[in-house]
Every structure is written in structure tokens, then in C-alpha cells.
Amino acid sequence: MHLDAALDAARTAVTLAPDQPKVYHLLSLIHLRQKNYQAAVADLDAYIKLDPNSPDGQTAKQIRADTEHKVDNSHP
């Protein structure tokens, strides 16, 4: 996989369109694949801030909760 290249592209997208929730969704997917759960939570927070009430926003809230559990469980 080319996660580093995807991450670079997603970060560029954030700088070009910081008010687009889908950009943060993409970042969260990349960070989840990398098992960088803290970064994924931050990405999901940004997504939820921009799109809290849509069906996708509700899904993001659930994914965030699941990911937060992973963060909590990785730190004894």
C-alpha cells in the first residue's frame, strides 16, 4: 500500500479545502489503516465538527467512539 503518498495527498487536500468534511474522513481512514488511532480521533473530531447531523456524521461519531476505545486500551 502507498499510505504515505495517500497521507501526503490528504494533507494537501486539507490545506486546499479545510471546510470539506470528506477530506477529514479520508485522513481518518488513512490513520486507521496505519493504526494511528489518536490522529484518527482528531480527524474524526474535525469531520464531526463540520458535519455533525448527517447520516455520515452519525457514522463518524460511532467510528470515533470505537477508535477512542482503542486509544484508551492501548494506554494501560
Q: Model confidence over 17-70: pLDDT tens digits? A: 999 999 999 999 999 999 999 999 999 999 999 999 999 999 999 999 999 998
Cβ atoms of 37 and 71 within 8 Å: the answer is yes
Q: Is the pLDDT of residue 74 over 80?
A: no
What does the alpha-carbon distance between residue 10 and residue 25 come to, in Å, rounded to a whole number?
A: 10
Looking at residue 57, what is its pLDDT? 95
Task: Give all domains of the chain, ordered by start, each with its CATH number.
Answer: 3-74 (1.25.40.10)
pTM here is 0.89
Mean pLDDT over 67-75 rounds to 84
Q: SS3 letters for the chain?
A: CCHHHHHHHHHHHHHHCCCCHHHHHHHHHHHHHCCCHHHHHHHHHHHHHHCCCCHHHHHHHHHHHHHHHHHHHHCC
